Structure 1
Amino acid sequence: MLPANLNLLRTLAVLLEEQHVTRAAERLCLTQSAVSRQLLQLRQALADPLLVRDGNRLLPTPRALALQAQLRPLLQQCDALFSPQQFDPQQWQGHVRMASSDYAAHYILPDIVSTLAGAAPQLQLTYQLWLPQQLSQLADLPLELVATMLEAIPPGLEGLALGEDGPVCVMRQDHPLAQQQRLTVDDLLACEHLSLSGGGDKDSFVDLALAELGQPRRIRLHVPFFTSALRIISRSELLLIIPEHIARNMQADYAITYRPFDLPCPTHRYWLLWHPKYHDDVSHTWLRKVVFQCFEASLYSMASKSTAHRIGHDS
């Protein structure tokens, strides 16, 4: 039967090296009586005298000598087990998975990949589209990081506030409404709309506000992807309600413009989320800092851009 206290094995290793209780006690920073008690416990646990007195010496038994050969690697493994976790991004050969929208895949993921290629060249990364219904399953999903739009961090998760903005109405550059500085409710009702069905809820507030006025919005098309939505918008009369930072950034690639409109608008809040099981892992800490910086750079309208901080909830 092995001793329950692994410190006894360290005491045994030192006793076998010193073959003297007093010198062993000095090395272990223990009293001589404490070392003698531990030796007694070892003898009882291993059913062997281990060290037999011969004058002023303690001579090891055959069992003790056999144990001595095994103790050094065992104690080295124990020391390594409890030593601080070491991490070098250049040597990291892990595989991480993150999820967000197709917008993030198109406009932010290339920056993440470029940064990781230089800082952690052996790291494997899998990116997938985020489905809001996966939020309650995050503890069991193989996902290390999620970037999404929510009111607040759900209880039981950890996160960083990426920033916030509000919704705007997007249209093609030569749309008849592009001449106006701001759209009225009548303008919204006069046109047909495209609604984005993927990712977080971006435009249901419009339908709720118009429903209170008894004038439903005419939604002609639902699509799950930003890229397809913007291609359609740039070639049609349809309107699209999306977050302002996305509309602003996508102007570089699509013939679109955007305007504010006369409805009460929510604040869109963006988060980088992860499960608490990853929170203290040094590689994850490094990774989320890299990913955070890339997402933050894309969100131009951050009120707290220079003071973003960790926000967490107890499980």
Structure 2
Amino acid sequence: MLSEALLPLLPSLVALIEEQSVTRAATRLCVSQPRLSARLSELRRLLHDDLLVPATGRRGLVPTTRAIALAAAAREALSQLDTAVSGVAFDPLSASRTFTIMANDNASIIAGAPLINAVRSASGPGVRVVLLNYDRARLHTLELGELDLVLASPAQLASLPSLIARTIIRDRFMTVVAAAGHSGGMLDLDEFCARDHIVVSATGGGFDSLIDAELKRLDRSRRLAVSVQSYLVAIELVARSDLVATLPNALLANRPLDVILVEPPIALSSFALSAGWHMRSTNDFAHRWLREQCFAVASLDTTSDYPSERII
């Protein structure tokens, strides 16, 4: 292609037209005069134009009409290339950018809502946010640039190559029960095991959880009555029934008045949420700004044994 052949010659074309002298252009480009003369010959051959012709009545060269137009286009192309290589700082107040974030309802409430509020507070009208429901099948769109950020558990992000993940929130689990008929005291282990439980399954239909692994270690078990995919549905079901659920405490901070929280009667590992993005976006100024907003509103646990940032 002609454009591919011209690309390495564009700086020479611009220098020749602006200097109107092979000698001065060669000095400007730090190349020998014979080498630049050879480049001029190649440009003339490719463009079928003399580009520079002897000036009338004086020494030096003058550009042809076509050379002037080509030089202007070449300067613009080189400027755009230089901008792409060096990068442009992101100004959220004047930029036009749509950030696409994926999260389930749990992560959307705990991390997504504060992030969206932070983005809106720190940006102008040209910055918009799309919040999508978590869908494991869409994780690959991070690599395509169609998705900017995923807010999910570390396990949900662990399967995608070239993904960078940072733990943004670490929290404890609490057991939620309907306020009606409950005194508010702690459930003992016998009552906990005897109650009907709701399990939130991200993939849908699952009943296993870390709670059951801990109960098994104690040679105990609980009745798993209902499996749902939505944390919000789980809370609503608890409020309207005698079911119980064990959920992240941060999710329950603004709980309805008709449910109460009690400490689970077993020791549970902490709950974690991570922000994940593809390494292709790491050095993008706009994406870096988005991550800064995310980390600023997150409650980071620096004592965690989960790497604060890693390539999975």
TM-score greater than 0.5 by the shorter chain: yes
Taking every aligned residue pair, what percent have the same amino acid on both sides?
25
1:242 aligns with 2:247: yes
| Residue 286 of structure 1, CA deviation | 0.7
Which secondary structure state, in structure 2, belongs to the residue aligned with residue 222 of structure 1? strand
Question: Does the 8 Å contact 2:112/2:151 carry over to 1?
Answer: no
Bigger mean CA offset, 164-173 vs 210-219: 210-219
The residue aligned with 1:192 is: 196
Which runs of 5 or more structure 2 residues have no equivalent in the other structure?
none
Of 254, 259, 273 in structure 2, the residue corresponding to residue 255 of structure 1 is 259
Question: Does the 8 Å contact 1:97/1:142 carry over to 2?
Answer: yes
Whole-angstrom CA distance in 1 between matches of 2:113 and 2:215: 38
1:222 aligns with 2:221: no
Question: Does the 8 Å contact 2:185/2:262 carry over to 1?
Answer: no
Question: Given residue 57 of structure 1, which amino acid in structure 2 is its aligned partner?
Answer: R
Question: Given residue 59 of structure 2, which amino acid in structure 1 is its aligned partner?
Answer: R
| Residue 196 of structure 1, CA deviation | 1.8
1:287 aligns with 2:285: no
Whole-angstrom CA distance in 1 between matches of 2:283 and 2:184: 49
Whole-angstrom CA distance in 2 between matches of 1:16 and 1:269: 61
Question: Given residue 25 of structure 2, which amino acid in structure 1 is its aligned partner?
Answer: A
1:103 aligns with 2:102: no
| Number of equivalenced pairs | 302
Question: Does the 8 Å contact 2:195/2:223 carry over to 1?
Answer: yes
Whole-angstrom CA distance in 1 between matches of 2:16 and 2:226: 80
The residue aligned with 1:310 is: 309
Which secondary structure state, in structure 1, belongs to the residue aligned with residue 5 of structure 2? coil
Structure 1 residues 150-169: Cα deviation after superposition (integer angstroms, max 9, x where no partner): 24644321222213344343
Which secondary structure state, in structure 2, belongs to the residue aligned with residue 4 of structure 1? helix
1:183 aligns with 2:184: no
Whole-angstrom CA distance in 1 between matches of 2:135 and 2:12: 55
Which secondary structure state, in structure 1, belongs to the residue aligned with residue 93 of structure 2? helix
| Residue 97 of structure 1, CA deviation | 1.7
1:88 aligns with 2:107: no
* Cα 1:5/1:212, change in 2 over 3 Å: same
Question: Does the 8 Å contact 2:52/2:61 carry over to 1?
Answer: yes
* Cα 1:59/1:133, change in 2 over 3 Å: closer
Which runs of 5 or more structure 1 residues have no equivalent in the other structure?
none
**TM-score where L is the length of structure 1:** 0.78
| Residue 124 of structure 1, CA deviation | 2.0
| Residue 194 of structure 1, CA deviation | 1.5
Structure 1 residues 231-279: Cα deviation after superposition (integer angstroms, max 9, x where no partner): 33234332212234334x245765311213236x344332101223322
Of 59, 73, 90 in structure 2, the residue corresponding to residue 57 of structure 1 is 59
- Give runs of aligned pairs for residues 81-230 of structure 1, distance below 5 A: 81-83=81-83, 84-106=87-109, 108-122=111-125, 123-135=127-139, 138-139=142-143, 142-151=146-155, 153-154=158-159, 155-173=161-179, 176=182, 178-180=184-186, 183-184=188-189, 186-198=190-202, 204-210=209-215, 216-230=221-235
